Structure 1
Amino acid sequence: MGAEEDEAFSAFVAQTHGQLHRSARLLTGDWHRAEDLVQATLMKVYRRWRRVQAADSAQAFAQQMMLNLFLTSLRRRWNGEVPKGELPEPGRSGDPETAFDRRDALSRALQSLPKRQRAVVVLRYYEDLSVEQTAALLACSEATVRSQAARALAKLRADAGLALLEVEA
């Protein structure tokens, strides 16, 4: 690659790294694994930079690559430490860490979902993509996206409690 392409790639990374990492963090449930996923994605994007630049949306192309890497990542069987059911010191309602506790509980609940359902939840409700866009990214039908989302939300509500999924006013 030439200097101009390197500069364009660097600008792309600066612009999209944060969003890619947030999505990867939600998909993997672990900061370090998310960083590895983003790094692997950006390496693939760099190798195919000319094709990525020619696409309608370089960011969507990179997100598709990241999703494919995530969905096919069966290399590691061990997923790190297994969280226990209860924390040693539960947070108090007036505690500033309560918001963290809720996010942590939601993150744990997301990790209990199968990879495909987790990907649907992240794309539909975090990335705010439509059913059609999600189906296109996951290469499946719109009905599959709707059914996977319904199953995932039902499991999240059962695991994390309905109050956890409600938006605070």
Structure 2
Amino acid sequence: MLLRTARSLTANPCDAEDLLQTALTKTFMAWERIEDHRALDGYVRRALLNTRTSQWRKRKVDEFACEELPEPVGLPEPDPADRQVLHDAMWRAVMKLPERQRQMVVLRYYEDLSEAQTAEVLGVSVGTVKSAVSRALGKLREDPELTPAR
């Protein structure tokens, strides 16, 4: 569980392991000062956060000034017309959903409400929102208009 916390604080799994090892070492070094040994998880989590914050503040900047900026490497921007076609196809697929599922999908993904907020707006339980949205997304995945050609 502590490794999962460390992984959420870093982008690299190896860095997460190093971070956790450092936090555990700090915990061991402070063992005499820790009054409640039942709360070690919280102490180690705080050590993880403090260590990561210190690393972030001390990070080495590998940037340097140059005469010309290099061209960005990556994928070209998609054609706006293709994006609009996909957007229209997605909206048509959403409109095919039953009304209740459509309401939940629109609130969750178009209005960016949380599951709890969606449940509150519709007067249903969070579990109802989760299951209905899951079924709706399954239907959208099966829609032939949205399935990429193979």
TM bin, normalised by shorter chain, reads 0.3 to 0.5
Q: TM-score, normalised by structure 2?
A: 0.43
- Highest relative contact order (Cα 8 Å, sep 6+), 1 or 2? 1
Q: TM-score, normalised by structure 1?
A: 0.38
Highest Rg: 1 or 2? Answer: 2
